[in-house]
Amino acid sequence: MKVTYYPGCSLEGTARDYADSIEGICRLLGIDLEEIPDWNCCGATAAHSINHRAGIELPGRNLDLAASLSNTDMLVPCPMCFNRLRTAAREKESNGSQGGKKPGAKIPKIWDMANFFATGPMLEKIESLVTRPLERLKLVAYYGCMSSRPPAVTGAEDYENPQSLDKIATSLGATVIDWPYKTDCCGASLMISRPDMGLKMSAKILEMVRRVGAEAVVVSCQMCQVNLDMYQERMEAELGKMFGLPIIYFTELIGVAAQVPETPGWLSRHFVDSLALLRRHRLI
């Protein structure tokens, strides 16, 4: 299966671990990722709040480039990139003069990557690859606020209670605990501009993870992952609380359950150690 692939900027930098796990799991599943040639930044997070036209034409150019490929589906790992590309596609469809330079170009179906992996056929493939079920591992699925909202842009029907990560983790044998903060904001870029606010927002999420009895958090958003993972030690120091919660990408979880040899290397790049938890459950 060949699909168009828009990696986005962070997967070439701070989220290289996510990029490597995506590439590894897609190879395992027989998914051929055809990267958009000469792609550019989608404008996240600031362009759309500063200049509407730039916020549409930056992702719009990527849609034009994607249209030059023959694939019908386009996978986007970053929920913010997904949101901006869907916004541009929506405007392109309603107003051919914006959203890119080629108003007649065919736009592929734009998928949030977790939603694509949670389709029926993909879940069946994933389940067939499980050689070490994640039994006894207690998780919560954390989506953040960009992959499902606003529903008029994302097309999500379960935007208040998304299920893609829940389904993937359950198919791997993990125990997924329901909880109330699935789609609460982690603070996003406030960690840079207003860390006092961003840290409180992320700490609130981690506190709830502990309250519901989960051992780790499964995510698909690299900004959510970095905020909850990189800043966790600082939150512990400032609040006088211990979290010790691994923040794991869903692709890495698939790697654990399918015993992909590279998986420990992906996980070792995180700030909060997840390998000790997985060893305790005899999963690696």
pLDDT at residue 222 tops 50: yes
Cα–Cα distance, 216 to 246 (Å, whole number): 5
Q: Which two tokens stand for residue 200?
A: 């409180």
DSSP class of residue 46 equals T
At 101, is the pLDDT very low, low, confident or very high (cuts 50, 70, 90)? low
Residue 57 one-letter amino acid: E
pLDDT of residue 98: 47
Residue 240 — left, alpha, or beta (φ > 0 → left; ψ -120 to 50 → alpha)?
Answer: left
Q: How far from the centroid of its chain's Cα atoms is residue 270's Cα?
A: 15
Secondary structure class of 84 (helix, strand, coil): helix
The reported pLDDT for the residue numbered 280 is 97
C-alpha 38: how far from chain center: 22
φ/ψ of residue 155, rounded to 5: 80, 5
As a whole number, the mean pLDDT across the chain is 94
Residue 168 is encoded by which pair of tokens?
């993937």
Structural domains of the chain sorted by starting position, each given as residue range(s) with its CATH number in brackets: 2-115 (3.40.50), 131-280 (3.40.50.11810)
Q: What was the pLDDT predicted at 102?
A: 57
For 99-121, give one letter per residue: b (16+ CB within 10 A) or e: bbebeebebbebbbbbbbbbeee
* Distance (Å) of CA 28 to CA 11, 22, 32, 103: 19, 10, 10, 36
Strands 175-176 and 138-141: parallel
Contact between 5 and 35 (Cβ < 8 Å): yes
pLDDT (average), residues 130-144: 97
Please state which of the ranges 102-111, 113-122, 164-173, 204-213 shows the lowest mean pLDDT: 102-111
pLDDT tens digit sequence for 236-277? 999 899 999 999 999 999 999 999 999 999 999 999 999 999
Query: By three-state DSSP, how is residue 256 classified?
Result: helix
Please report, to the nearest 10 degrees, the dihedral formed by the alpha carbons of residues 164, 219, 113, 180 taken in order: 40
Joined together, the tokens standing for residue 119 give: 């389709």
Q: Which two tokens stand for residue 170?
A: 């359950």
The model's pLDDT over 171-187, given as tens digits with 9 standing for 90+, comes to 999 999 999 999 999 99
Whole-number pLDDT of residue 103: 55
Structure tokens, 57:
């034409």
68-97: b or e for each residue (b if 16 or more CB lie within 10 Å)? ebebeebbbbbbbbbbbbbbbbbbbeeeee
